[in-house]
Amino acid sequence: MAALIAENFRFLSLFFKSKDVMIFNGLVALGTVGSEELFSVVAFNCPCSPARNYIYGLAAIGVPALALFLIGVIWNNHTWNLVAECHKRGVKNFSAAATFLLFGSIMGRAAVAPVTWSVISLLRGEAYICALSEFVKPSSLDKFPAEYGAEVLARFPCKDMPANLTKFRDEVTRRLRYESQLFGWLLIGIVAVLIFLTKCLKHCCSPLSYRQEAYWAQYRSNEDKLFRRTAEVHSRILAAKNVKQFFGFVALDKEEKELVQEFPVEGVQPSPQWNAITGVYIYRENKGFPLYSRLHKWAKGVEGNGPSPEGHEMLFLAS
């Protein structure tokens, strides 16, 4: 148990550090698998009671999947960029295709963990067997005693039944596990096809070449790293100046003293500048030259987010 908890903490650390989409999604899937295993060992306990089995089995699959989906939406930067965009500018500058792709990006990234949870739950089969054991028709079981009904079938997942029904329990369990795993494999196949078609559509509709799109991704990643690093240093120096003004001195370590001396900070950026670089970004070109981010647009002095007659539009899909 301690090893499993340690693995989940290690997953969380990698989760926050990962920038590559494929690595990110892989880590989410692996973390979900570990969480599902922990849940099945610690938390899952079929009530083996008519009418309760169905609700409990579906809840064991659906409720964690819903929670993981909402967490995925909350942790996606596009979600809050979209909120900021709607609050500051509305969505009048977005085409229908761009809006659809934006929501598709948010929903697709958020769906990785819940789909993984659902697939693993279906492949394991315990929740499915618990939910549907009571609905197996006794008439479909050869020589099933007529005096037993749904109440006994509901106890099959807990092995709490008369001894003469053991062979029927094995048959019911085998049948339901087959159905559960079949649905799990079908879900994997459907998701794989959807991912393939989405990637093909994205590259076919992109106005950028493969190399330029790769460069764009590298630029976004580097800009984000440098912005966060610089913002941390800027805020630390500004805080040091304000603390010194209040107390008359500030307790800095050697590294912080070097930062204060090397990077003089006079003030903070005004709100219009923060608003200009915050929000959803749709790829634009200005007179044939690409603009890779809102910060890039601001630095070039380009106003507005609407498409120009000679411009191109493509949704910023990667984080």
**Interval 231-263: pLDDT, tens:** 999 999 999 999 999 999 999 999 989 988 899
Better-predicted residue by pLDDT, 1 or 279: 279
Residue with tokens 């989940």, as numbered in its chain: 8
Q: Which of residues 154 and 30 earns the better pLDDT score?
A: 154
191-209: pLDDT as tens digits: 999 989 988 887 787 778 8
- Here the tokens at position 126 are 């315990």
At a CB cut-off of 8 Å and minimum separation 6, what does 236 contact?
256, 259
pTM, 2 dp: 0.71
Express each pLDDT in 69-89 by its tens digit.
999 999 888 888 778 777 776
Q: What's the pLDDT score for residue 13?
A: 42
Alpha carbons within 13 A on the beta-carbon side of 224: 15
Q: What does the alpha-carbon distance between residue 256 and residue 259 come to, in Å, rounded to a whole number?
A: 5
- Do 60 and 93 contact (CB within 8 A), yes or no? no
What's the confidence (pLDDT) of residue 176? 93
User: Is the model's pLDDT at 173 over the cut of 70?
Assistant: yes
| 128: pLDDT strictly greater than 90 | yes
Measure the CA dihedral 90/82/297/88, to 10°.
40
212-228 average pLDDT score: 92
pLDDT of residue 295: 93
d(CA 282, CA 96): 12
Q: What is the pLDDT of residue 287?
A: 83
* In the predicted structure, residue 269 carries a pLDDT above the cut 80: yes
Q: Can you say how many angstroms the Cα of residue 146 is from the centroid of all Cα atoms in its chain?
A: 49
CA dist., res. 238 & res. 230, Å (int)? 12
Least confident of 40-44, 63-67, 214-218, 235-239: 40-44
Q: Which of 78-87, 143-152, 158-167, 262-271 has the highest mean pLDDT?
A: 262-271
Tell me what the mean pLDDT of segment 146-167 comes to. 78
Q: pLDDT-derived band of residue 51, with 50, 70 and 90 as boundaries?
A: confident
Q: Both tokens of residue 142?
A: 């050869």
Which range of 88-92, 231-235, 263-267, 284-288 scores highest in mean pLDDT? It is 231-235
- pLDDT tier for residue 286 given thresholds of 50, 70 and 90: confident
Average pLDDT score over the chain:
79
Of 34 and 129, the structure prediction assigns the larger pLDDT to 129
Task: Report whether pLDDT(282) > 90.
Answer: no
What is the distance between the alpha carbons of residues 41 and 126, in angstroms, rounded to a whole number?
Answer: 11
The DSSP string of 171-211 is HHHHHHHHHHHHHHHHHHHHHHHHHHHHHHHHHHH-SS-HH
Token pair belonging to 21: 């989409």
Q: What is the mean pLDDT of residues 122-146?
A: 85
